[in-house]
């Protein structure tokens, strides 16, 4: 049985999983724990984000809906703990923790892939209903530049899109998601 999210045990198991998975060299597949770790580091080092988000308080969660055709059998929650320009951590968290985030943006894997590839502007995606926002909209509007920067950085991380993965990569992605689900 998985330890409870938020406990030291959970964090310890998450880190162990991450260490195992990072033994392999990049490029990583988008939304895997190892890709998420690279994303976290990029945000933490980005001066532009720090400045744009200096007043930001609260967690942002990217919720990726299941897409079994691409090896994603679970609801995936990329939980970003953001505070005054700092990215304190990014974790792939259990659904109840993800849904409890301050701002939850939900979309299909295809939509998130379009966002990462800059084929879909995240603001436009929300206006068109392709991405759904849960949370206080005025707060997001006030920090739209910071939000834009987060999206830009997700593209800068680079990696393999699950929607474009080879059979072998898709199996790898599926396996990664099983490991994530094991911590749910």
- Which residue ranges make up the site for another protein (CB under 8 A)? 119, 121, 123-128, 133, 137-138, 141-142, 144-145, 148
3-state SS of the chain is: CCCCCCCHHHHHHHHHHHHHHCCCCCCCECCCHHHHHHHHHHHHCCHHHHHHCCCCEEEEEEEECCEHHHCECCCEEEEEEEECCEEEEEEEECHHHHHCCCEEEEECHHHHHHHHCCCCCHHHHHHCCCCEEECCHHHHHHCHHHHHHHHHHHHHHCCECHHHCCHHHHHHHHHHHHHHHHCC
Q: Which is nearer to another protein, 119 or 171 (CB)?
A: 119
Residue 120 CB, nearest approach to another protein (Å): 8
Residue 82 CB, nearest approach to another protein (Å): 19
Q: Which is nearer to another protein, 133 or 181 (CB)?
A: 133
Q: Which is nearer to another protein, 141 or 182 (CB)?
A: 141
Residue 15 CB, nearest approach to another protein (Å): 36
Q: Which is nearer to another protein, 96 or 119 (CB)?
A: 119
Residue 81 CB, nearest approach to another protein (Å): 24
């Amino acid at each position: 049985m998985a330890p409870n999210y938020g406990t030291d045990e959970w964090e310890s198991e998450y880190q162990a999983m991450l260490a195992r998975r990072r033994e392999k060299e990049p490029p990583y597949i988008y939304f895997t724990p190892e890709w998420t770790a690279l994303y976290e580091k990029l945000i933490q080092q980005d001066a532009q984000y720090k400045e744009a988000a200096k007043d930001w308080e609260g967690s942002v969660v990217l919720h990726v809906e299941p897409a079994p055709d691409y090896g994603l059998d679970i609801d995936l929650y990329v939980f970003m703990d953001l505070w005054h320009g700092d990215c304190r951590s990014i974790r792939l968290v259990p659904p109840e923790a993800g849904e409890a985030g301050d701002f939850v943006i939900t979309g299909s894997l295809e939509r998130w892939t379009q966002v990462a590839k800059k084929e879909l502007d995240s603001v436009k995606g929300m206006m068109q209903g392709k991405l759904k926002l849960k949370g206080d909209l005025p707060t997001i509007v006030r920090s739209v530049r910071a939000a834009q920067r987060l999206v830009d950085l997700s593209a800068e991380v680079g990696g393999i899109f699950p929607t474009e993965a080879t059979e072998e990569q898709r199996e790898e992605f599926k396996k990664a998601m099983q490991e994530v689900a094991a911590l749910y």
